[in-house]
Structure 1
Amino acid sequence: MAKRSNSLEDLGGFVFSTNKDFEYDNNDEGTETPANGEQRLEAHLDKKNRGGKVATVIKGFEGTDDDLKALAKQLKTLCGVGGSAKDGEIIIQGNFRDKVMDHLTKQGYKVKRVGG
């Protein structure tokens, strides 16, 4: 038997109103990706919760999910490895921090090396 939940999160972010004049204002449509020079990214090395394997994590991306995924695909192709992109973070499998930082700097991003 399925478990029922009465959480507002289960509604997908929608709010129901009995007010017949209520208008839903969706501000998400206007978000655009800032120019590369305005982005401040951080390059991390991470091996927590990864079975001891190292991953390069790029944090701080602001913009649409499509632009984030396009940049992630570009970086994964550059390094020849797998990875993922979600929640404003790009995860590249392996230690490619310097290579990724050089590539992002050439594209105009401001990249800061964080950690050892």
Structure 2
Amino acid sequence: MKELDKSETHLTVRVELRRWGKPVTVVQGLPKTGRSLAEVAHKLKERLATGGTAKDGVIMLQGDHRARIKSELVKLGFPDDHIEVF
């Protein structure tokens, strides 16, 4: 994840309801392409024990992970004050 300048990245985390009322945690603010997006998504899916996808600068994780995702992103090296959880 050396390609990604984490200090200049501002992340927004929110939960959307998808089909049949299923919650999906959405992380926005990452670069649209690149290996680093896939790496961050892979590490989040592992640490949160959930499925998900990453494309167009957005990571979608199955379920509502607002309670833990900020601490996991901080562990990955993102600054605490650059992460907003709604």
For Structure 1 versus Structure 2, the TM-score category normalised by the shorter chain is: 0.7 to 0.9
TM-score by length of 1: 0.63
Structure label with greater radius of gyration: 1
Residue 69 of structure 1 pairs with residue 38 of structure 2: yes
Of Structure 1 and Structure 2, the greater helix share is in: 2
CA distance in 2 between counterparts of 1:72 and 1:34 reads 13
Name the amino acid aligned to 2:8.
E
Of Structure 1 and Structure 2, the greater strand share is in: 2
User: Relative CO higher for 1 or 2, CA cutoff 8 Å, sep ≥ 6?
Assistant: 2
* Structure 1 runs not aligned, ≥5 long: 1-31
Superposed CA offset, 1:26-77 (max 9, x none) = xxxxxx9441111000001011x33210011001112643110110000000
Change (3 A) 1:50 1:108: same
TM-score by length of 2: 0.83
Q: How does 1:78-93 map to 2 (within 5 A)?
A: 78-93=47-62
* Two-structure CA RMSD over aligned residues (Å): 1.8
Q: Alignment length, in residue pairs? A: 82
SS state of the match for residue 61, structure 1? coil
CA distance in 1 between counterparts of 2:51 and 2:39 reads 14
Contact 2:32 2:56 in 1 (8 A): no
